[in-house]
């Protein structure tokens, strides 16, 4: 009987939503303390920024890092090299320390008071201490093509046949191992039903209009907990906001066995 119920629920709602329900039941309690930490850290870090105010631009990029100095510099350089220049980059260091970074007035870098290893909280802090119409996300072991933001905003600002615009888009990613070997090209049109059963959603190619619904799960998931924060945020965001895929490769993504946030043994 239990197996039959599980089969029905999986067919009706998809395996990923079921896993997420399980996460909320078993580890959802971890979010409260992390929410308090997020708010306190955002207040503390905001006071360290010029004028004690969030930097303002058309697009704010939240770039996460932890103990990957060489990769971080490459990621920052790719963000600063965007053809769209009305743009600020906020580096959020998860308590591991920051290397010397390029001198650029659009670049800001802050360190959390301690290592927390909760991707969603770190990104939420970045959202809280920036001010922009659009938001993009990047991790320290990935890079963008120079036209990434330009391509994303072109679709976000262009009305479709019905006269409406999407509120979020994600481009295609070329995924490769650290030695440069091609893993695949991830380019999947957005389909909410497909997303229930397939984890193809990621933050690195994702650009969205800033809304109150744009925030990440604060549950302490750990490397081996599925689904990840990226999927949860995009899937939840798509309930009320239109998400579209742009099938142009603009992201170079590292399938990194040494990833701080993702276990590729699960892939």
Alpha-carbon distances of 77 from 80, 102, 113, 249, rounded to whole Å = 5, 8, 25, 18
Q: What is the pTM of this model?
A: 0.90
Nearest to 60 by CA among 210, 246, 212, 229: 210
Q: CA nearest 125: which of 44, 202, 6?
A: 44
Render pLDDT for 175-213 as a digit per residue (tens, 0 to 9): 999 989 999 999 999 999 999 888 899 999 999 999 999
Q: Which helix (H) or strand (E) holds 206?
A: strand 206-209
pLDDT in tens, 217-257: 999 998 788 899 999 999 999 999 999 999 999 999 999 77
218 HSE (CA, 13 A, CB side): 16
Cα dihedral 19, 21, 22, 25, rounded to 10, equals 160
> What tokens were used for 176?
């490769």
C-alpha–C-alpha distance, residues 235 and 243, integer Å: 9
Q: How far apart are CA 120 and CA 244, in angstroms?
A: 22
Sequential pLDDT tens for the chain (267 residues): 545 544 544 554 456 788 898 999 999 999 999 999 999 999 999 999 999 999 999 999 999 999 999 999 999 999 999 999 999 999 999 999 999 999 999 999 999 999 999 999 999 999 999 999 999 999 999 999 999 999 999 999 998 788 889 999 999 999 999 989 999 999 999 999 999 888 899 999 999 999 999 999 999 998 788 899 999 999 999 999 999 999 999 999 999 776 655 654 434
CATH for 2-266 is 3.90.550.10
């Amino acid at each position: 009987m239990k197996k039959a119920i599980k089969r029905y629920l999986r067919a009706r709602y998809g395996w990923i939503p079921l896993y997420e329900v399980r996460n909320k039941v078993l580890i959802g309690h971890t979010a409260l303390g992390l929410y308090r930490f997020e708010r306190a850290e955002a207040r503390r870090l905001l006071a360290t920024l010029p004028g004690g105010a969030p930097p303002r631009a058309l697009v704010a990029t939240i770039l996460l890092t932890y103990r990957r100095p060489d990769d971080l510099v490459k990621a920052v350089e790719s963000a600063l090299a965007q053809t769209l220049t009305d743009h600020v980059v906020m580096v959020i260091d998860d308590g591991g320390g920051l290397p010397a970074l390029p001198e650029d007035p659009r670049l800001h870098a802050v360190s959390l008071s301690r290592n927390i290893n909760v991707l969603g909280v770190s990104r939420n802090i970045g959202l809280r201490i920036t001010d922009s119409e659009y938001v993009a996300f990047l991790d320290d072991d990935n890079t963008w093509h120079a036209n990434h933001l330009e391509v994303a905003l072109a679709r976000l600002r262009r009305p479709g046949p019905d006269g409406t615009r999407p509120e979020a888009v994600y481009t295609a990613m070329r995924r490769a191992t650290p030695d440069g070997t091609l893993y695949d090209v991830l380019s999947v049109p957005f389909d909410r039903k497909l997303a229930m059963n397939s984890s193809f959603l990621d933050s690195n190619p994702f650009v969205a209009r800033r809304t109150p619904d744009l925030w990440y799960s604060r549950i302490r998931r750990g490397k081996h907990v599925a689904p990840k924060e990226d999927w949860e945020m995009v899937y939840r965001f798509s309930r009320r906001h239109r998400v579209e895929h742009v099938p142009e490769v603009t992201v170079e993504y590292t399938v990194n066995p040494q990833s701080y946030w993702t276990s590729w043994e699960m892939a």
